[in-house]
Structure 1
Amino acid sequence: MARTSAQPPNQTLTKMRGSTVGRIEAALTQAIAAGELAPGERIDEVTLTERFGVSRTPVREALSRLVAQGLLIPGEKRGVRVADYTREQLAQIFEAMHEIEAACARVATQRLSLLARVEIEAAQAECIAAAKAGDRAAYLKANEAFHLTIYRVTGNPYMAEIASEFRNRTGAARAKKFATPEDLLASAQSHEDLIALIFSEDSEAASDGMRAHMAQSFRATLAAN
């Protein structure tokens, strides 16, 4: 009789649960990074179970993971809420962001390929379209995608992971700075200057440009929070 390669039921269930937890974790991470969940906002387990059509077990596991990552913090009555940083904490996080973002811009410039140029231009086109439409939600997502593209272009997944983590942590706070259509357009235009530096193949200029870009972002974030 031929041997079957079917996995034991308990192993299959474990994989399914892991996939569900990962899906919930990814969705919440994106929502926080895009500013869809505000700093200090309470996360309701019941709402999540209804949204994803699951029990509370995978929801609680996903929330625990996000607490461990610093995106969520324990709240009252065993609940959790989106991390709400003090000005000093934001300053410390942005200080680290300045360095890793500048490093990503420098390495991306050194390893720039034709495909990378096209990907960066495509990501910027999404930003421009959302900004011109005055679509805040679409711009927040496009802006995150723009920076993630630069991280990916480095060809270094470890740098990309660290940079992404900082963006995730500060997403809710940074989203507040985009209060008007003019804010969206100004941000999209600042990308143009940054892209020009990256495409110039001058890695140090690109690094300095990203540092200046992040400094402006920090000032605007502090003013909005």
Structure 2
Amino acid sequence: MSSVTQRSRVSVAQKIETALLDEIAAGQITPGERLDETRLAERFGASRTPVREALGRLTAQGVLETGEGRGARVAQYTREELAQMFEAMHEIEALCARLVAQRLTLLARSQMEEAQARCHEAANAGDFPGYLRANEALHYAIYRATGNPYIQQMASDFRRRTGPFRAKKFATKADLLASAKSHDELLEKIFSANSNDAFDYMRKHMEESFMRVLAAN
């Protein structure tokens, strides 16, 4: 296989992986739902090889579980497992906020403000999938701004695993507006460079999020 062909195949697999992650995070693909290789290949206009690679990577990340036959299914977790994941997630996200408050750059601030502007736009429009995508973009911008790739990777892993469960916490437009307002307060703490306040508020933000997730799942 030529290097050009291999790069093309990897690129297709990455596009499929990204598209599926977005849909899972937005709740458009739900826990336990089966993903069939053949149907995905038809949908993306690709061979089954890059589809299999994309599913394999998502399975390695804990987002998917190996299913029967050719395919996989979105991972399912018990309430106890979710509680344990969120307990770890609280601390990692809070640490990210603390580090960003200490290390904030103009570029990182601009990226967070851009993502938050999209959150407000989607919330005001009652656009649930749009809000979920913007919400993910904001948190990933915070992770990147830590400047620590190991912490960024851990935080991203938990966010990918919990995506379909977090999506259920938004039931009304009011939920979106309240979440966007909470983000405003979080960014205010981060931009103030008060790392302890940023840490405490992010932990509070995540704890409230977890309680809503448990109520919805």
TM-score by length of 1: 0.91
Point out where structure 2 has 5 or more consecutive residues left out of the alignment. Answer: none
- CA distance change for structure 1 residues 119 and 16 in 2, over 3 Å: closer, same or farther? closer
Q: Deviations over 1:143-175 (max 9, x none)?
A: 001111111111222222221111111000000
The offset of 1:204, in angstroms, is 1.1
Q: Report what 1:185 is aligned to.
A: 177
The offset of 1:33, in angstroms, is 2.1
Contact 2:55 2:71 in 1 (8 A): no
**Which stretch of structure 1 is more off in the superposition, 185-194 or 43-52?**
43-52
Aligned 1:54-65 pairs, distance under 5 A: 54-65=46-57
**Which stretch of structure 1 is more off in the superposition, 151-160 or 9-18?**
9-18
Q: Report what 2:147 is aligned to.
A: 155
The offset of 1:61, in angstroms, is 1.9
SS of the residue 1:76 aligns to:
coil
Matched, 1:201 2:193: yes
Q: Deviations over 1:115-156 (max 9, x none)?
A: 332222221111011001100010000100111111111122
Distance 1:62 1:79 in 2: 11
CA radius of gyration, larger in: 1
Q: Report what 1:21 is aligned to.
A: 13
Point out where structure 1 has 5 or more consecutive residues left out of the alignment. Answer: 1-8
Query: Which of 176, 194, 205 is the aligned partner of 1:213?
Result: 205
**Which stretch of structure 1 is more off in the superposition, 171-180 or 30-39?**
30-39
Q: Report what 1:50 is aligned to.
A: 42
Distance 1:150 1:66 in 2: 22
Aligned 1:72-91 pairs, distance under 5 A: 72-91=64-83
**Which stretch of structure 1 is more off in the superposition, 77-86 or 141-150?**
77-86
SS of the residue 2:28 aligns to:
coil
The offset of 1:48, in angstroms, is 1.1
Distance 1:211 1:219 in 2: 12
**After TM superposition, where is structure 1 displaced by more than 6 Å over at least 4 residues in a row?**
none
Contact 1:34 1:144 in 2 (8 A): no
CA RMSD of the aligned region, Å?
Answer: 1.4
Give, as a single letter, the amino acid of the residue that structure 2 aligns with 1:75. Answer: G
TM-score by length of 2: 0.94
Contact 1:30 1:168 in 2 (8 A): no
Give, as a single letter, the amino acid of the residue that structure 2 aligns with 1:58. Answer: P
Q: How many residues align?
A: 217
Distance 1:77 1:104 in 2: 40
The offset of 1:78, in angstroms, is 4.7
Q: Deviations over 1:56-99 (max 9, x none)?
A: 12211211221121100122345311011110110111111111
